[in-house]
Amino acid sequence: MLGLGDWGVSLAYLLMLASAALCVIYGFINWNKPSPEEEIKEIAEEEEWEKGEIK
C-alpha cells in the first residue's frame, strides 16, 4: 500500500494526513469564534452602554 512496505507505516501515514485535514477543518470552522470569556465581557459592556444611553 502506497509503496511504503509495511502496512503499519502506511496506516500511520494515512492517519497523519487525516489528522492534518481534521485540524484544518476545525480551524476553518472556529476561525473568528470568540472565546466564552470574551463573549461574556462583550455582553456586559453592551449592557453598561445601554444603561448609559437610557439615562
User: Cell numbers at residue 22, please?
Assistant: 481534521
Residue tagged 466564552 (cell numbers): 36
Per-residue confidence (pLDDT) for residue 44, from 0 to 100: 86
Rounding to the nearest 10 degrees, give the CA dihedral for residues 26, 27, 29, 31.
160
Q: Quick one: pLDDT at residue 26?
A: 95
Q: What is the pLDDT of residue 25?
A: 96
Per-residue confidence (pLDDT) for residue 1, from 0 to 100: 53
CB 26 within 8 A of CB 19: no
Q: For residue range 1-55, what is the model confidence (pLDDT) as tens digits?
A: 556 778 888 889 899 999 999 999 999 998 888 777 888 888 888 888 888 876 6
- Domain locations in the chain as residue ranges: 7-54
CA atoms of 10 and 53, how far apart (whole Å):
64
Return the closest-CA partner of residue 13 out of 1, 25, 22, 26: 1
